[in-house]
Amino acid sequence: MRLAKYLAHSGVASRRGAEELIAAGRVTVRGTRVSDPALDVDEGSAVAVDGRSVSPEPREVHLLHKPAGVVSTARDTHGRQTVIELVPSVRRLYPVGRLDAGSTGLILLTNDGELADLLTHPRYGVEKVYRALVVPEPVPERALRRLREGVELDDGRTSPAHARQLRPGLLELTIREGRNRQVRRMCEAVGHRVVALERVAFGPLRLGSLPPGESRALSAAEVERLRQTAGWKNRLP
């Protein structure tokens, strides 16, 4: 198995994160620092990160209903509660993508770095559905049309989104990108400020009636549907 994939399967980081660890010189194989993420290794290769031995562990994927005020990181230097603390698991989990602290809703946590990369890489364009409460209301059709066509942000034009108004001031937006605070910035670009934002779907998964702060482990069938949604069989090696 390639070293970067081995680290991802060990729950150390995503595949891209593992490559960064290797490039930073933090990974050793049989006591020797290595720089090649494609190096062939196995459980007998004595792989270590920062001197700590690592090996593949059973993979888990959890769906969490993130409450407001909780940060979507593994650790927080300001002492705020993190999504990791809300999921009962002995594995080294990390979030798949992010929701900003003020946003709520569906977020995935896993120790499967390869799956995390599939779900977040722009190439695969996995759909995320958000509900945004905005002001002023209602949102006129011309603003919805701009969202559907793509709007110009400071980091480039967005891809077309599916946008509809469920009731005056409540938008449902489906996007395939994952830029920082993207939905909030898209709404601001068409003249509406988001006052509450919730992610209600990620690929084939729905938030449903899961209470805020609660989580559940995904079934093997749900994980397989996620892989299929991200084009697992057609991905590049």
Query: Residue type for 175, please?
Result: I
Write down the H helix ranges in the chain. Answer: 3-9, 15-23, 113-120, 141-149, 182-189, 220-229
How many CB atoms are closer than 10 A to CB 236? Answer: 5
Contact 63, 216 (CB under 8 A): yes
Tokens representing residue 210 in the block: 């899961």
Q: Nearest CA to 22 among 113, 137, 140?
A: 113
Task: Let me know if 76 is a catalytic residue.
Answer: no
Catalytic residue among 36, 40, 100, 155: 100
CA nearest neighbour of 204 among 75, 70, 106, 116: 106
Tell me how far apart the alpha carbons of residues 33 and 203 are, in angstroms, rounded to a whole number. 38
* Active-site residue list: 100
